[in-house]
């Protein structure tokens, strides 16, 4: 179950990221951790890499925005990073950026059974995700896809 503050946290993080030249890539609120951990991933709208210095520089304004918002009333840890290997692809931009990268696609069939397809991402259309699996093209209906995750080239 998602944390009830997640929509408000995402809105705040997105606005703060835009104010500092970034986009919000993802936000997780790990309420099961003590103290709670708020993980924020940022990226540059231009597609340029986000550096460690960028993450460190964004930490203070994001922390200040959280404090000013009073959304979090208990202690928390703030972690700022950029999307990287092992990350789930979600946006159209993610699928454009990581074309020709190795991915795992988790698909749920009509009986609810999950299948994993490992291959090279070719594209995402309105209806399908296309993979190259050992040189063969596989089209997976988007409405059956549970997740798409980058993997390392060696598997």
Residue 76 has pLDDT above 60, yes or no: yes
Question: What's the angle, vertex CA 72, arms to CA 30 and CA 5, rounded to 5?
Answer: 60
d(CA 108, CA 114): 4
Query: Nearest Cα to 59, choosing from 105, 13, 11, 107?
Result: 13
Which position has the token pair 């994993």? 116
What's the Cα-to-Cα distance from 15 to each of 55, 109, 132, rounded to whole Å?
16, 38, 38
pLDDT number for residue 154: 55
Report residue 95: phi and psi, to 5°.
-70, -30
Q: Greater confidence, 49 or 17?
A: 17
Query: In the prediction, which pLDDT does 2 show?
Result: 66
Give the count of beta carbons closer than 10 Å to the beta carbon of residue 95: 18
Given pLDDT bands bounded at 50, 70 and 90, which one contains residue 47?
confident
pTM of full prediction above 0.75: no
Q: Is 112 buried (19+), middle (13-18) or exposed (0-12) by CB count in 10 A?
A: exposed
Pairing status of strand 36-43 against strand 76-81: parallel
Domains detected in the chain: 6-81 (3.30.300.70), 92-150 (2.30.30.100)
In angstroms, rounded to a whole number, what is the distance separating the alpha carbons of residues 146 and 115? 10
In this model, does residue 85 exceed pLDDT 80? no
Closest CA to 32 of 76, 72, 70, 84: 76
Binned at pLDDT 50, 70 and 90, residue 153 comes out as low
118 close to 101: Cβ distance less than 8 angstroms: no
- Percentage of residues in the chain having pLDDT higher than 70: 95
């Amino acid at each position: 179950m998602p944390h009830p503050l997640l929509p408000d946290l995402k809105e705040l993080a997105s606005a703060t990221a835009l104010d500092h030249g970034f986009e919000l890539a993802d936000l997780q609120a790990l309420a099961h951790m003590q103290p709670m951990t708020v993980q924020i991933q940022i990226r540059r709208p231009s597609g340029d890499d986000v550096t460690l210095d960028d993450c460190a520089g964004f930490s203070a304004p994001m922390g200040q925005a959280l404090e000013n918002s009073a959304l979090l009333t208990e202690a928390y840890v703030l972690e700022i990073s950029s999307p990287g290997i092992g990350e789930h692809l979600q946006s159209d931009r993610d699928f454009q950026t990581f074309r020709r990268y190795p991915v795992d696609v988790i698909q749920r069939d009509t009986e609810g059974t999950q299948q994993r397809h490992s291959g090279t991402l070719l594209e995402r259309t309105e209806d399908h995700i296309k993979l190259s699996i050992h040189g063969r093209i596989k089209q997976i209906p988007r409405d059956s896809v549970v997740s798409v995750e980058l993997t390392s080239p060696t598997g």
